[in-house]
Amino acid sequence: MSIIPVSYYLVLSAVLFGLGVIAFVFKRNIITVFMSIELMLNAVNLAFVAFARAHNQLDGLVFVFFVIVVAAAEAAVGLALVIMIAQNRQSLSVERMNHLKF
């Protein structure tokens, strides 16, 4: 068969997304947490592209384009913030950044 069913791609996307979630919940380094966000975004991109191909439409690809662009912007600003916090606190642990507590 030369047709790979869309569901394969979707499964892969789901798995990657789930792994991204796990990484988000369990990692202690804030940069690693950011990276897990990127991983999740990538998983979603894969799903979009797969559907774009399946329905033979370009809208999914355009969306992926925008997602990548926005991810870039977000990463830039986010990492700038991380730098500031890290220099302030001398620590990159998420646990230390709990000043929004009750």
Partner 1 sequence: MSVPFVLFFVCGALAVTGAVLVIAAREPIHSALALVLVMVALAVLYLLLGAPFIAAVQIIVYAGAIMVLFVFVIMLLNAGVEERTDFSAIAKYIGLPLGFVLIFWAAHWLWRSQAAAAIGTSASIPAASSHDLSVELFRQYLFPFEATSILILIAILGALVLARKEQ
Partner 2 sequence: MPILDHLWVILVLPLAGAAINGLLGKRWPQSRVNLVAVGSVTLAFLAVAELVREFWQLPSEQIPFVGNYFTWMVAGPFRVDFTLQVDQLTVVMLLTVAFVGMLIHIYSTGYMAHEGGYYRFFSYLNLFMFFMLTLVMAANLVVMFVGWEGVGLCSYLLIGFWFLKKSAADAGKKAFITTRIGDFGFTVGVLLVFATFQSIDFGTIFQALAANSVSEATLTIICILLFAGAVGKSAQLPLYVWLPDAMEGPTPVSALIHAATMVTAGVYMVARMNPLFSRAPIAMLLVAVVGAVTAFYAATIGLVQTDIKKVLAYSTVSQLGYMFLACGVGSYSAGIFHLMTHAFFKGLLFLAAGSVIHAMGGEQNMMKMGGLAKKTPITFWTMLIATLAIAGIPGFAGFFSKDKILEVTHAGSSGNLVLWFLGVAGAGLTSFYMFRLVFLTFFGEPRYDEHHIHVHESPKNMTIPLVILAVGSIFGGWFAAPHLVGGPDYFDGFLKPVFSSYAPPSMSEAAEAGIAPSPASELLHALTGWPVIVAVVGLLVAWWFYIKNPEAPKRLATSLHGLYTLLLNKYYVDELYRAVIIRPLLWISTNVLWHGVDEGLIDGIVNGSARVARAAGGRLRELQSGNTRSYATWVLIGVVGFTVLLLALFVTGVH
- Within residues 54-73, the interface with partner 1 by CB under 8 A covers 54-56, 58-59, 61-62, 64-66, 68-73
40 binds, among partner 2, partner 1, none (CB under 5 to 8 A by kind): none
Residues in the chain: 102
CA dist 52 and 90 (Å) reads 45
Coil, strand or helix: which one is 37?
Answer: helix
CA dist 87 and 71 (Å) reads 24
Q: Does residue 89 touch partner 1 according to CB under 8 A? A: no
Q: Does residue 31 touch partner 2 according to CB under 8 A? A: no
- Within residues 70-99, the interface with partner 2 by CB under 8 A covers 94-95, 97-99
Cβ partners under 8 Å of residue 82, min gap 6: 30, 31, 34, 92
DSSP state of 102: -
9 binds, among partner 2, partner 1, none (CB under 5 to 8 A by kind): partner 1
Q: Does residue 77 touch partner 1 according to CB under 8 A? A: yes
- Other CB atoms within a 10 A radius of the CB of residue 79 amount to 14
By C-beta, is 36 or 42 nearer to partner 2? 36
Q: Which residues in this chain contact partner 2 in the complex, by CB under 8 A?
A: 21, 24-26, 28, 33, 94-95, 97-102
